[in-house]
Amino acid sequence: MERDYPLEKVRNFGIIAHIDAGKTTTTERVLFYTGVSHKIGEVHEGETVTDWMEQERERGITITSAAVTCFWTPTYVPAETLAKAGAQHPLKHRFNIIDTPGHIDFTVEVKRSLRVLDGAVVVFDGVAGVEPQSETNWRYADEAKVPRICFVNKLDRTGASFEHSYATILDRLSKKAVRVQIPIGLEEKFEGVVDLLTMKAFYFEGDMGNKVVEKEIPENLKADAVKYHSELVEKIVETDEVMMTEYLEGMIPDIDVLKKTLRKAVISNEIFPVFAGSALKNKGVQLVLDAVVDYLPAPTDIPPIPGIDPNDEKPIVRNASDAEPFAALAFKVATDPFVGQLIFFRVYSGTLSAGSYVYNPRTRNKERIGRILRMHANDREEVKKVFAGEIAAAVGLKDTITSDTLCDEDNAIILDRIVFPEPVISLRIEPKTKADQEKMGMALNRLAQEDPTFKVSTDQETGETIIAGMGELHLEIIVDRMKREFTVEANVGKPQVAYRETISGTSEAEGKYIKQSGGRGNYGHVKIKVKPMEVLTKEELEDLPKNTKRSPGFEFINSIKGGVIPQEYIAPCEKGFKEGLDRGVLAGFKMVNVSVDLWDGSYHEVDSNEMAFKIAASMAIQDACRRASPVILEPMMKVEVVTPDKFMGDVTGNLSSKRALIEGMEDRGMNKVIRAIVPLSEMFGYMTGLRSMTEGRASFTMEFFRYDIVPNNVAETIIAARK
């Protein structure tokens, strides 16, 4: 079986944005114009293709990222290009699209999707411009080095302003953004767009705007178009020295050369082109799809994917080619009611056939791929084989979890894992009946496998089950899914904040565990130093000495010389330190950002064993941390409140009473926007208070920002409550 599409004609991209900027509406238009759906589903009517879960349709939000495959032939193609393409394949491209959630509680979906995509279309609300979640998503895209196209949507709304939205992109996200289009009219007068590269106006006529009509630029916009056209050309030629020199000498490059150079600049993240439109009113979407073809990378345009050899940990790479050994990354686990567990994966190199075996370097086991599916949201099409650069789902993998590498056993590779944020909120949960008890354990286990930011644990003292996640909505959806998908009824406690502990000073301690019991005894003895863990740059991390091991929140330095503690007891010591830190010293919260230096100790020829050293290490670290000025940390949230002007005093006063640090205020249309950093513990049930304060006219968004030290009076209350 041969590849049905050349790799250069494949585009893997995601649609990302703040909640309510119109991602799903844009995706629905894309599916309609590419012929996947014959009717446009609307979010407000609960009929969309990609929002297929009951919970998504009820709430009108996206919860899981949905993958869709479709085909696109560019709308605006010059006649000579068409002639060159000939009758076979008239420029048709395959799109693999992922529609991601905008709500901060489901930010993991954006992070994991960006890891496996080659490009992204970032959608902005034409009234609000850049919002908090747009900034977070942009940061994730920066981390993943994903090329982006910006689409300013909703320009038909009252109060819409393309220029304001564009200014917020320059101000808050990147100075490298540049207009490639400007709108013709705004609000209810929004009619079409001017393309600043070709200097033509485009209108969208016919049924659902499916006819793209090219006309001359309206008189009133000509001056602006000329000004912005030269800005765009300058920005493009700046990225190429030869063109820059020619341009300064008065040579204006032709459109094809400008397009090629712009493509190169977008792929290397030197330019982010900005487009305009309104997905709901069917204007501008086709030109964004053309831009995906013109400017976003094919799998062959991105650098080879780096990884390490599991046998000797040396760096190796894989190129996007069917001829290379197979390598893929599992980025999502989902439970499908019809086929069971699905593992979504992105193929970076090589090919994979149904019925063959793949090797998982984490488990060191081989697994058989039963079936391979190409997903269209929750519909599926079975395929016999997938090729490099494709996104598909596999059925039949039992031991694969998110972020695992799947590869060819004879050419093993471990691709970089996806790093997920830690949960910030937890609650106690118990089954309603005895029958629910067994089912609950299984349901929670399945849900935790699907979602790496959802954690399940047991309280050692009370034996209760505790679930933790990214926010109240996140846990609410989990409990709801448990009820509907697994028919488990449960009682849920009040949300709790995931506090942490750390040390603010340094200290030394000694741990001895010596027990004689006639015959062989137990003997473990360690001496340690602890200090707060330093934040290091990427370069400093690579230069860490051989005896230092770092994992998130914990650093272990092995300074044992001359075998005073034999090598086989070092790993149990490290395990003991970790267990000691998990128990905390002030209020039993997990301790983070602690650096432990194991520098001395002793052992007994006969009585020493692994358990004795593990216990000694755990005792030593608890003792050392108690003496190193321990403090409690709490999650701080970035909060943005949008409120009518007249309630501004009440809202800021109320935020100040919640220990908020107000960072700034600005106007957004008729409303005021207040930005603040507020402790999560003060934000439970904030929506109710905010509504009653503002006659129900204000709204807010919040996302995790960082952990900060709790003030003393609050810390005392927390410690007393835990005791």
What Cα–Cα distance (Å) separates residue 65 from each residue in 23, 124, 421? 11, 18, 17
Copy the structure tokens of residue 399: 């031991």
Amino acid making up residue 628: A
466 CB burial (10 A radius; 0-12, 13-18, 19+): middle
Q: Residue 144 annotated as binding?
A: no
Q: Which residues pair with 162 in a beta bridge?
A: none
CA distances from 205 to 155, 202, 277, 541 (A): 17, 10, 14, 56
The rounded distance, in Å, linking the Cα atoms of 362 and 332 is 16
- Known binding residue 502? Answer is no
DSSP state of 416: P
Residue 282 phi/psi, 5-degree rounding, is: 60, 45
Asked if residue 662 belongs to a known ligand binding site, the reply is no
User: Is 66 flagged in the annotation as binding?
Assistant: no
Is 416 one of the annotated binding-site residues? no
Question: Is 240 marked within a binding site?
Answer: no
Q: Is 379 part of any known ligand binding site? A: no
Residue type, 541: L
102 carries a ligand binding annotation:
yes
Q: Would the annotation count 23 as a binding residue?
A: yes
Could you tell me if 565 and 603 are in contact, meaning their C-beta atoms sit under 8 angstroms apart?
Answer: yes
d(CA 329, CA 391): 10
User: Is position 227 annotated in a ligand binding site?
Assistant: no
Counting every residue, how long is the chain? 723
Asked whether residue 89 is marked as a ligand-binding residue, the answer is no
Three-state SS for 532-591 is ECCCCCHHHHHCCCCCEEEECCEEEEECCCCCCCCHHHHHHHHHHHHHHHHHCCCCCCCE
Does 100 count as an annotated binding residue? yes
306, 328 contact by CB (below 8 A)? no
Of 217, 419, 388, which Cα lies nearest the Cα of 318? 388
Are the beta carbons of 202 and 214 closer than 8 angstroms?
Answer: yes
Report the half-sphere exposure of 646 (CA within 13 A, side-chain side): 4
Query: Are 295 and 273 a contacting pair, CB within 8 Å?
Result: yes
Which alpha helices (DSSP H) does 405-530 contain, by range? 434-450, 472-486
* Residue whose tokens read 């793209």: 212
User: Mapped to the 3 state alphabet, what secondary structure does 637-687 carry?
Assistant: EEEEEEEEHHHHHHHHHHHHCCCCEEEEEEEECCEEEEEEEEEHHHCCCHH
Angle CA 297–300–303, to nearest 5: 85
Q: Which residue has the tokens 């028919």?
A: 487
Q: Is 24 annotated as a binding residue?
A: yes
Known binding residue 22? Answer is yes
CA dist 185 and 161 (Å) reads 10
Distance between CA atoms of residues 102 and 138, nearest Å: 12
Consult the annotation and say whether 630 binds a ligand: no
Whole-angstrom Cα distance, residue 693 to residue 698?
9
Find how far residue 342's CA is from the centre of its chain. Answer: 20
- List Cβ neighbours of 110 (8 Å cut-off, separation of 6 or more): 14, 16, 65, 100, 101, 136, 137, 140
Determine whether the annotation assigns residue 99 to a binding site: yes
What distance in Å separates the CA atoms of residue 258 and residue 450, rounded to the nearest whole number? 44
Q: How far apart are CA 131 and CA 22, in angstroms?
A: 13
**Secondary structure of 159-195 as H, E, C letters:** CCCHHHHHHHHHHHHCCCEEECEEEECCHHHCCEEEE
156 is in an annotated binding site: yes
Binding site, annotated residues for GTP: 17-24, 99-103, 153-156
Question: Residue ranges for the binding site?
Answer: 17-24, 99-103, 153-156
